[in-house]
Structure 1
Amino acid sequence: MAGNDPGLSSTNELQEWTLEKQETEQVTFRLADTLLKLRPLTNNAVRVIRSMGIAHEVPELVYLPKKVPDYVLKKEKDSYILSLKNLNVRFSVSDGRISFLSSGGKEIVGEEASLIESSSVQGEKTYVSTQTFHSPFDECLYGLGQFQDGYLNVRGLTRRLTQVNTQIAIPFVMSNKGYGLLWNNYGLTDFNPASSVVALQKTGLGGNKVTVNVTSTEGGKEEVRESNVFVGKLKVESDGQYALMLDVGSLMARRHNLAIDGHTVVDMNNLWLPPTVSILVDLKAGEHNLRAELTKEDAPKVYFRKVDETTTFRSPVSNGIDYTFFAGTADEVIASYREATGEVPMLPAWALGYIHCRERFHSQKEILETASEFRRKKLPVDLMVQDWQYWGKYGWNAMRFDEIDYPAPREMTDSLHRMGMRLMLSVWSKVDQNSVLGKRLADKSYYIPGTPWVDFFNPEAASF
Structure 2
Amino acid sequence: MKQFLFFIAFSLIVGKLLAADPVQTLDNGMKLHPKTGAARTIEISVINSRVVRVQASPESNIPFVASLCVLPGLTPAVPFKVSSNSEFAVLSTDELRVRVSLLTGEISFMDKSGKVLLQEAKRSFSPFVVENDKGYTMQQVFSGMPGEAIYGLGQHQSEDFNYKHKSEDLFQYNTKVAVPFILSTNNYGILWDNYSQSKYGDPRDYKDLNQFSLFDKAGKEGALTATYTQKSGNPIVRRESAIDYENLTTVKKFPADFNFNDGAVVWEGELLSSQTDVYKFSLYYAGYTKVWINDSLVVPERWRTSWNPNTYRFSFPLTKGKRAKIKLEWKPDGGVSYVGLKALSSSPLEKNGNLSFWSEMGDKMDYYFVSGKNMDEVISGYRTLTGKASIMPKWAMGFWQSRERYKTQDELLNVVSEYRKRKIPLDNIVLDWSYWPEDAWGSHQFDLKRFPDAKGMVDTVHRQNAHIMISVWPKFYTTTDHFKQFSKNGWMYMQAVNDNVRDWIGSGYVGSFYDAYNPEAQKLFWKQMKDNLYVKGIDAWWMDASEPNVRDCTDMEYRKKLCGPTALGSSSKYFNAYALMNAKAIYNGQRETDSNKRVFLLTRSGFAGLQNYSTATWSGDIATRWEDLKAQIPAGLNFAMSGIPFWTMDIGGFCVEKRYEKGQLIFDQTGNENADLNEWRELNLRWFQFGAFCPLFRSHGQFPYREIYNLAPEGHPVYKSLVYYDELRYRLMPYIYSLAGMAYHNDYTLMRSLAMDYTADQQTYGISDQFLFGPALMVCPVYSYKARSREVYFPAGTRWYNFYTGEQMEGGKKVTVAAALERIPLFVPAGTILPVGEVMQHTAEKKADDIEIRVYQGKDSKFSLYEDEGTNYNYEKGAFSTIDFDYNHTDGTLSISDCKGSYDGMLTQRTFRVVAIGKTTAAPRIVPYNGVKTVIKL
TM over 0.5: yes
* C-alpha spacing 1:354/1:346, structure 2 compared with 1 (3 Å): same
- Residue type of the alignment partner of 2:43: K
Please identify, of 17-26 and 201-210, the stretch whose mean Cα deviation from structure 2 is larger: 201-210
CA distance in 1, matches of 2:277, 2:87: 39
Contact 2:307 2:337 in 1 (8 A): no
Instruction: Flag the 1:52–1:163 CA change in 2: closer, same or farther, 3 A.
Output: same
Partner of 2:297: 263
SS at match of 1:360: coil
Is 1:190 the equivalent of 2:253?
A: no
Is the counterpart of residue 326 in structure 1 residue 389 in structure 2? no
1:305 corresponds, among 322, 333, 346, to 346
Q: Which protein has the bigger strand share?
A: 1
Q: Could you say which residue in structure 2 is the equivalent of 1:395?
A: 440
Shift of 1:171: 0.3
The letter for the 1-side match of 2:73 is P
Given the alignment, which residue of 16, 24, 27 partners 1:24? 27
Larger radius of gyration: 2
Report the CA distance between 1:412 and its aligned residue: 3.8
The answer for the alignment partner of 1:214 in structure 2 is none
RMSD: 3.8
Match of 1:215 in 2: none
Alpha-carbon distance change, 255 to 89 in structure 1, aligned in 2, over 3 angstroms: farther
Q: How far 1:27 sits from its partner (Å)?
A: 1.1
Q: Identify the residue that residue 468 of structure 2 maps to in structure 1.
A: 423
User: Residues 343 and 227 of structure 1: is their aligned pair in 2 closer, same or farther, counting only changes over 3 Å?
Assistant: farther
The aligned residue for residue 47 of structure 1 is 53
Secondary structure of 1:70's match? coil
How far apart are the structure 2 equivalents of 1:134 and 1:270? 40
Out of 136, 158, 169, the residue aligned to residue 149 of structure 1 is 158
Tell me what 2:168 maps to.
159
Q: Which residue of 2 aligns with 1:315?
A: 359
Query: Once the 2 structures are TM-superposed, how far is the Cα of residue 344 of structure 1 from its aligned partner?
Result: 2.6
Equivalent residue number for residue 227 of structure 2 = 205
- 2:324 maps to 1:279: no
Match of 1:61 in 2: 68
Listed as ranges, the matches of 1:396-411 within 5 Å are 396-411=441-456
Which residue is 1:347 aligned to?
A: 392
Cα distance in structure 2, aligned partners of 1:326 and 1:449: 36
CA–CA separation in structure 1 for the residues paired with 2:124 and 2:313: 26
Task: Report the TM-score, using the length of structure 1 for normalisation.
Answer: 0.78
SS of equivalent residue, structure 2 residue 458: helix
CA-CA distance at 1:42 after TM superposition: 1.5
- Where 1:350 maps in the other structure, the secondary structure is helix
Question: Where do 1:358-373 residues align within 5 Å?
Answer: 358-371=403-416
Deviations 1:83-112 (A, max 9, x none): 112111122234432111112221112222
Shift of residue 325, structure 1, vs aligned partner: 0.6
In 1, Cα distance between equivalents of 2:308 and 2:357: 23
Equivalent residue, structure 2, for 1:235? 273
Q: Secondary structure at the match of 2:138?
A: strand
Q: Structure 2 vs 1, CA of residues 115 and 393 (structure 1 numbering), >3 Å: closer, same or farther? A: closer
Q: Name stretches of at least 5 consecutive residues in structure 1 with no aligned partner.
A: 1-15, 211-222
How far apart in 2 are the matches of 1:447 and 1:51? 32
Find the residue that maps to 1:48 and give its secondary structure.
strand
Please list the CA deviations of residues 223-257 of structure 1 after superposition, one character each: whole Å capped at 9, or x if unmatched: 965664556847384465x65444x4xxxx63595
With CA pairs under 8 Å and 6+ residues apart, which has the higher RCO, 1 or 2? Answer: 1
2:477 to 427, 432, 445: 432
For the residue of structure 1 that corresponds to 2:395, the secondary structure is helix
Distance, in Å, in 2 between the alignment partners of 1:207 and 1:146 is: 37
Contact 2:416 2:461 in 1 (8 A): yes
Amino acid at match of 2:364: G
Cα distance in structure 2, aligned partners of 1:425 and 1:89: 48
Matched, 1:132 2:141: yes
User: Whole-Å Cα distance in 2 between the matches of residues 49 and 154 of structure 1?
Assistant: 25
Residue by residue over 1:139-179, the C-alpha shift from the partner in whole angstroms, topping out at 9 and shown as x without a partner, is 21111112222223222222111111222110001100110
Higher normalized helix content (fraction of residues): 2
Question: CA distance change for structure 1 residues 454 and 119 in 2, over 3 Å: closer, same or farther?
Answer: closer
> Are the structure 2 counterparts of residues 265 and 224 from structure 1 closer, same or farther at C-alpha, using a change threshold of 3 Å?
closer
Q: Which amino acid aligns with 2:304?
A: N
Amino acid at match of 1:73: V
CA distance in 2, matches of 1:419, 1:339: 40
State which of 33, 36, 42 in structure 1 corresponds to 2:42.
Answer: 36
Q: CA deviation at 1:183?
A: 0.8
Over 3 Å counting, the alpha-carbon distance change for 1:449 and 1:283 in structure 2 is closer
Deviation at 1:40, TM superposition (A): 1.1
Percent identity reads 25
After superposition, what is the alpha-carbon deviation per residue over 1:367-392, rounded to whole angstroms, capped at 9, x for unaligned? 34555666678776543332221113
Q: 1:191 to 1:371 in 2, by over 3 A?
A: farther
**SS of the residue 2:162 aligns to:** coil
Please tell me the residue identity of whatever aligns with 1:65: G
Q: Is the CA contact (8 Å cut-off) linking 1:128 and 1:315 kept in structure 2?
A: yes
In structure 2, stretches of 5+ residues that fail to align are 1-18, 210-222, 233-258, 498-510, 528-938
Contact 2:486 2:514 in 1 (8 A): no
